[in-house]
Amino acid sequence: MQPRLLGLDFGSRRIGVAVSDELGLTAQPVLTLVRKNAKQDLKSLGRLLRKFGCTAIVLGNPLYMSGDVSPQAAKTQAFAESLREAFSLPVHLWDERLTSAEAHRHLHAAGRPLSEHREVVDQVAAVLILQSFLDAHRPREESYNQE
């Protein structure tokens, strides 16, 4: 069994939350946390970390397309430090460029009306961020030539 990871899409009003499955293969949506204040946000995230037994956090890092740090990325990096201090867990900043646009495409393809996207787009973005991290860190299987 793999250690579970908590995936976060951090925004100024909401935090999308996802968690990895017990095998560390897939990311599953959990909820969208409506932000109140830093103390309450950390308290809510602490409950989720305990509930799912997570040993690390993957936090989407919204860089500019050029790779430069955007104002939101600077806020996200400060939030990452708060998470590290509050929970003494590794926090992995993961490139999330275009994740929100991709989340909207997934919701549209699933037939969700645009009016319903706001409720779940942050969760879908958190799933995409965490899944990307999981895929990038999965051990590569050796390919065998079968002739």
The model's pLDDT over 16-29, given as tens digits with 9 standing for 90+, comes to 999 999 999 999 99
Note the pLDDT tens digit of each residue in 64-102. 888 888 898 999 999 999 999 999 999 999 988 766 667
Q: Which of the four pLDDT bands, split at 50, 70 and 90, describes residue 147?
A: very low
Tell which wins on pLDDT, 124 or 81. 81
Q: Which of the four pLDDT bands, split at 50, 70 and 90, describes residue 3?
A: confident
The dihedral through the CA atoms of 94, 76, 124, 117 has a sign that is negative
Rounded to whole angstroms, the Cα distance separating 108 from 65 reads 24
Tell which wins on pLDDT, 70 or 31. 31
Note the pLDDT tens digit of each residue in 32-67. 999 999 999 999 999 999 999 999 999 999 888 888
pTM of the model: 0.85
The share of the chain scoring above pLDDT 70, in percent, equals: 85
Rounded to whole angstroms, the Cα distance separating 25 from 31 reads 19
Joined together, the tokens standing for residue 76 give: 């996200």
Q: Name which of 131, 145, 110, 143 is nearest 25 in CA terms.
A: 131
List, in order, residues 6 or more apart from 135 with CB less than 8 Å away. Answer: none
Vertex 29 angle, CA 66 and 109, to 5°: 70
Secondary structure element (H or E) that encloses residue 48, with its range: helix 38-52
pLDDT number for residue 143: 47
Rounded to whole angstroms, the Cα distance separating 18 from 129 reads 9
Question: Domains in the chain and their CATH numbers?
Answer: 4-137 (3.30.420.140)
CB 56 within 8 A of CB 89: yes
